[in-house]
Chains A and B, each alone.
Chain A
Amino acid sequence: MNIFRLVGDMSHLLAIIILLMKMWKSRSVAGISGKSQILFAIVFTTRYLDLFTSFVSIYNTSMKVFFIGTSYVTVYFIYQHFKPTYDSNHDTFRVEFLIVPVGGLAFLVNHEFSLLEILWTFSIYLESVAILPQLFMVSKTGEAESITSHYLFALGSYRALYLLNWIYRYYFEGFFDLIAVVAGCVQTILYCDFFYLYITKVLKGKKISLPA
């Protein structure tokens, strides 16, 4: 463990807590893409199957349980509990255009042709594009609540910090995973536009309005 990965995981944890608090306090899921949240639930489910087969640490296991659990609670909030506030008319990204290519790529490009490894690879590739429905929704509605912007900033920061973690691990531990690094770069690049708007607007008290 290193400071970059720890802060990255905390940023990821914070993002999830911000989202849940927004939903619970405002009793609304307005502006949140249910499709992205479903993709995140798939990401965690396919990535953490080793939860039962290999034990790394209490931290690792508890974080995995938390991420899987909260991802399903979030999907439940959107599609059941707060369904009347779900804005399905603006959440129209065709996720099959993500899942099919990512599934095919995971099948072709992976470290080992085994079920667990292909599912892990699928999860890594899927996570890199899972935020697209959410960013698409923000661009369609033309704006995002500031709490949603904070959620996206924390979520985008987590993988950017993981990039620093991989640089650190490469030089100090000789650890290198090309698949995770490439997907992490794609994932972080997708947030660049948002990061720019967040830093230039939200931090000055303005609202975000992605070009519609």
Chain B
Amino acid sequence: KKEARVKDEL
């Protein structure tokens, strides 16, 4: 469960 490549969180 790698973190999403594009950082969509602030």
Across-interface contacts of A64 in B (CB, < 8 A) = 10
Across-interface contacts of A111 in B (CB, < 8 A) = 2-3
Chain B interface, number of residues (Cβ within 8 angstroms)? 9
Pick from A54, A174, A180: contact of B9, CB under 8 Å: A180
Additional A-B contact list (11), CB under 8 Å, known A54-B6, A64-B10: A54-B7, A56-B8, A60-B8, A63-B10, A67-B10, A120-B7, A165-B9, A170-B1, A176-B1, A176-B2, A177-B4
Q: Does A35 contact B (CB under 8 A)?
A: no
Instruction: State the majority secondary structure of interface residues on A.
Output: helix
Chain A interface, number of residues (Cβ within 8 angstroms)? 22
Are the C-beta atoms of B9 and A12 separated by less than 8 Å? no
Q: How far does the Cβ of B1 sit from chain A's closest Cβ, in whole Å?
A: 4
Query: In whole angstroms, how far apart are the Cα atoms of A175 and B6 in the complex?
Result: 12
Across-interface contacts of A56 in B (CB, < 8 A) = 6-8
Closest 7 CB pairs of A and B: A177-B3, A176-B1, A56-B8, A174-B1, A63-B10, A54-B6, A9-B10
